[in-house]
């Protein structure tokens, strides 16, 4: 490989992999939007890295990935070494490379953002790991010695999978329980396939099994197996339960026909897309599966501007909606959804109505309109976000055949947590210690042998933060069991 020049970023522009053509997306193509770099592209894009003395990208990544080092290995074509280095900090690198909002994290911190365009960190991460795995590379646990310790992991989402990965690397046998028949949590049944194809999860399932992780799928803890039994049979337990109680906003008219909550809409649609109805069980909290109305040729309004909202609008485009509008109560700069996803949605024809507060859903039997009012930004709230204040006399009606409500999620802790002395915050998030001077181990709950992480601890957040907490909790468990 040629010697690296510090000014490659001047000769090579930032470029993402090719995307599925817009016309196909609008005709209902559900395949992953971004393709994969070929080897030459990946080397050139990786070679744009300045290798700053202080890698801001690594600080911007919740996992503190060793980004400049694996970019350099990719530039040199040393893909197996790069994949091994990716896995040192990230248990799910090919997944994060696909779904992280990089513009807010690693790439948002890249020095080249200063007018040149950030290094395409996520796309190179995906390239490295996909290529190595396709080439037969697998994590090497040959030097790991079994400790004889056993841990039950409840939840096969990114938090649980990351914890299981790190436990296996520490020689601790992990058994992962999930109520669904497939691993991945929201990666499997929430995030649409145009962001993450299901084959990616199937490959990761095989890798984890190859590392010795055991899966007990289709088993709900608290129903099919008691939490008491886990405490009796295992040395410790990790809880990666996720966050599934949805916020409906309490809008008048939300019981009208064709008003849908976001996650059941995405889940049901996702199953139809992949022709899979084998999951068998409704999502926790929504015991009845929803009947999906026909979206083709209809006017769809999505309420909410987060990642889930972006997945809803872009799914509606692929389902052939005549128009898709996204209503958000603050301005674009305050939108929680990734800027890249917003740009993709806009390109796919989604209209964004910023500074609009939904007041009521109108209709006779079925929804026919959304009453909205304009907003302006006022005082900052406790989290520093400016409140959206309604502008008096600004009400109007938006025609709508289908309304999808995407206002976010809160944890919905099962009753057996409290029964076993596992304390929660008022909003249902499981309490954990940070391990930094507060007397506890990382991500230890108020039960000394139970640890927790991911959305069940943070509230609805990101795959990468769930992976971080699963990874760190495994360290806490190892400290407890192997001290």
Task: State yes or no: residue 186 binds ligand FAD (CB under 6 A).
Answer: yes
Token pair listed for 87: 């896995």
* Per-residue binding letters, 388-427, with ligand FAD (x by CB under 6 A): --------------------------x-------------
Residue from 41, 72, 125, 341 in contact with ligand SF4 (CB under 6 A):
125
Instruction: State the number of binding residues for ligand SF4 (CB under 6 A).
Output: 15
Task: State yes or no: residue 156 binds ligand FAD (CB under 6 A).
Answer: yes
Least distance from ligand SF4 to the Cβ atom of residue 82, Å: 13
Single out the segment in contact with ligand FAD by CB under 6 A; choices: 18-26, 128-136, 306-314, 386-394. Answer: 306-314
Question: Which residues 57-116 are close enough to bind ligand SF4 by CB under 6 A?
Answer: 61, 63, 65, 67, 90, 96-97, 100, 102, 105-106
Residue from 47, 93, 240, 413 in contact with ligand FAD (CB under 6 A):
240
Question: Which residues 214-233 are close enough to bind ligand FAD by CB under 6 A?
Answer: 220-222
Q: 309 touches which of ligand FAD, ligand SF4, none (CB within 5 to 8 A by kind)?
A: none
Instruction: Let me know: does 154 contact 177? Beta carbons within 8 Å.
Output: yes
Task: State yes or no: residue 177 binds ligand FAD (CB under 6 A).
Answer: yes
Q: 125 touches which of ligand SF4, ligand FAD, none (CB within 5 to 8 A by kind)?
A: ligand SF4
Q: Which of 469, 483, 421 is nearest to 235 (CA)?
A: 483
Least distance from ligand FAD to the Cβ atom of residue 457, Å: 8
Single out the segment in contact with ligand SF4 by CB under 6 A; choices: 118-126, 235-243, 277-285, 292-300. Answer: 118-126
Residues 183 and 177: their CA atoms lie apart, in Å, by 9
Task: State yes or no: residue 464 binds ligand SF4 (CB under 6 A).
Answer: yes
Least distance from ligand FAD to the Cβ atom of residue 445, Å: 15
Interaxial angle between packed helices 79-89 and 121-134, expressed in degrees from 0 to 180 and rounded to the nearest 10: 110
Task: State yes or no: residue 99 binds ligand FAD (CB under 6 A).
Answer: yes
Task: State yes or no: residue 195 binds ligand FAD (CB under 6 A).
Answer: yes
Q: In the complex, which residues of this chain contact ligand SF4 (CB under 6 A)?
A: 61, 63, 65, 67, 90, 96-97, 100, 102, 105-106, 121-122, 125, 464
Q: In the complex, which residues of this chain contact ligand FAD (CB under 6 A)?
A: 99-100, 154-160, 177-180, 185-187, 190-191, 195, 220-222, 240-242, 263, 266, 307-308, 311, 414, 454-456, 460-464, 466
């Amino acid at each position: 490989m040629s010697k690296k020049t510090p000014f490659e970023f001047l000769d090579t522009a930032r470029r993402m992999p090719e995307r599925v053509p817009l016309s196909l997306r609008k005709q209902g193509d559900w395949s992953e939007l971004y393709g994969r770099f070929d080897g030459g592209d990946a080397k050139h894009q990786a070679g744009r890295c300045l290798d700053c003395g202080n890698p801001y990208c690594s600080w911007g990544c919740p996992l503190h990935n060793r980004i400049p080092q694996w970019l350099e290995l990719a530039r040199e074509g040393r893909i197996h070494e790069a994949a091994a280095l990716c896995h040192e900090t990230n248990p799910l690198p090919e997944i994060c490379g696909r779904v992280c909002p990089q513009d807010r994290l690693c790439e948002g911190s890249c020095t080249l953002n200063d007018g040149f365009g950030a290094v395409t960190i996520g796309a190179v991460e995906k390239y490295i790991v996909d290529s190595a795995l396709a080439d037969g590379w697998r994590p090497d646990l040959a030097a790991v010695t079994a400790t004889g310790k056993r841990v039950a992991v409840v939840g096969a989402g990114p938090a649980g999978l990351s914890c299981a990965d790190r436990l296996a690397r520490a020689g601790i046998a992990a058994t992962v329980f999930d109520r669904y028949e497939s691993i991945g949590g929201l990666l499997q049944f929430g995030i649409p396939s145009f962001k993450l194809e299901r084959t990616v999860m199937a490959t990761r399932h095989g890798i984890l099994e190859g590392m010795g992780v055991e899966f007990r799928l289709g088993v709900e803890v608290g129903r099919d197996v008691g939490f008491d039994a886990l405490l009796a049979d295992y040395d410790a337990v990790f809880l990666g339960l996720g966050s599934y109680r949805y916020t409906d906003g309490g809008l008048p008219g939300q019981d009208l026909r064709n008003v849908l909550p976001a996650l059941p809409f995405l889940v049901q649609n996702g199953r139809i897309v992949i022709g899979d109805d084998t999951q068998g069980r409704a999502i926790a909290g929504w015991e009845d599966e929803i009947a999906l109305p026909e979206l083709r040729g209809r006017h769809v309004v999505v309420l909410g501007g987060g990642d889930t909202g972006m997945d809803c609008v872009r799914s509606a485009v692929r389902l052939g909606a005549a128009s898709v509008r996204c209503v958000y109560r603050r301005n674009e700069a305050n939108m929680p959804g990734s800027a890249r996803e917003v740009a993709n949605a806009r390109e796919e024809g989604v209209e964004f109505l910023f500074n609009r507060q939904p007041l009521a859903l109108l209709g006779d039997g079925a929804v026919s309109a959304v009453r909205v009012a304009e907003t302006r930004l006022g005082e900052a709230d406790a989290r520093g976000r400016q409140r959206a204040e309604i502008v008096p006399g600004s009400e109007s009606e938006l025609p709508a055949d289908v309304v999808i409500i995407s206002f976010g999620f809160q944890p919905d802790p099962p009753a057996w947590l409290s029964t076993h002395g596992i304390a929660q915050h008022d909003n249902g998030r499981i309490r954990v210690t940070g391990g930094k001077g507060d007397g506890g181990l990382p991500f230890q709950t108020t039960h000394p042998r139970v640890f927790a992480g991911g959305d069940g601890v943070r509230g609805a957040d990101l795959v990468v933060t769930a992976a971080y907490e699963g990874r760190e909790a495994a360290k806490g468990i190892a400290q407890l069991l192997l001290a």
